[in-house]
Amino acid sequence: MKLKNKVAIVTGAGSGIGRTTARTFAAEGASVVVVDIEKKTADETVDSIRKRGQNAVFVRTDVSKGSDVETMVAQTIQKYGRLDILFNNAGIDIAKPIVETTEEEWDRTLDINLKGVFWGCKFSLPPMMDGGGGIIINTASILAHVASPNQAAYSASKGGIIALTRQIAYDYASDNVRANCISPGDVLTPMAKNFFDSCEDPEERMKFFTDRYPMKRFAEPSEIARVALFLASDDSSFITGQAIKVEGGFSIW
């Protein structure tokens, strides 16, 4: 039980990496605030956690809206009395080259992926500090480190997350807050499926990307969740300000 008596917010917990991480945190003893813009899928996450006798509650939030995120944190404190872990994980990917990206698409990507992290940290840090410290984990992407076809807004948003995380780690280390990123490669989630489905030849694209991995496969969500657990627990007590690549060697050649 690595997270016994801890309270964790997981955003984007209605699907993919967020859902698996919410279940992993709950299984390790945390009370989990399951956050998503989609009620139906988030309810399914909560139900699956409660069925195992563990603690979870849903708070519907659009992470791009400051007032929503402020309420998300207030409801967490109201329900559980403290906040120890924030996993800013909700995100979208609009895969386009820059000349085809509209202003609306650029703004939406940056608002959800990067401003969502800003809001989460801004409103979570005060209660974390009141409680003696905390852990922030932000989901970046391997596309913050290397280029890939047609990912203009997405890669910019993820690069911003790494810089912001480093800054938070620096500014709040003396308040006993650690902040780190995870930079996943391709993970088998609905987001990845939607991306490949939108390609002209999904099978060819899957093969193109799979072949770029020395391990010749994509990640399972649990392989990201286990790293999130490591970063959320005392096992990583001297790690802060880092972007941990979890990408099967994608960027080593």
* Catalytic site positions: 154
| 201-221: burial string, b at 16+ Cβ within 10 Å, e else | eeeebbeebeebbeeeebbeb
Least distance between ligand NAD and beta carbon 141 (Å): 4
Contact 88, 12 (CB under 8 A): no
Asked whether position 92 contacts ligand NAD by CB under 6 A, the answer is yes
Contact 180, 236 (CB under 8 A): yes
Least distance between ligand NAD and beta carbon 16 (Å): 2
> Of the two residues 61 and 233, which places its CB atom closer to ligand NAD in the complex?
61
From residue 168, give the alpha-carbon distance in Å to each of 103, 137, 153, 180.
28, 11, 22, 9
Size of the site for ligand NAD (CB under 6 A): 30
Asked whether position 62 contacts ligand NAD by CB under 6 A, the answer is yes
Of these, 90, 153, 169, 177, which contacts ligand NAD (CB under 6 A)? 90
- Positions in 41-60 near ligand NAD (CB under 6 A): 41
- Positions in 124-163 near ligand NAD (CB under 6 A): 139, 141
> Of the two residues 7 and 161, which places its CB atom closer to ligand NAD in the complex?
161
Please name every residue paired with 245 in a beta bridge, in sequence order, or none if there are none.
183
Query: What is the distance between the alpha carbons of residues 52 and 16, in angstroms, rounded to a whole number?
Result: 19
Query: What is the distance between the alpha carbons of residues 173 and 221, in angstroms, rounded to a whole number?
Result: 29
Asked whether position 187 contacts ligand NAD by CB under 6 A, the answer is yes
**E runs forming strands in 7-110:** 7-11, 31-36, 56-60, 85-88
Contact set with ligand NAD (CB under 6 A): 11-12, 14-18, 36-38, 41, 61-64, 89-93, 112, 139, 141, 184, 186-187, 189-192
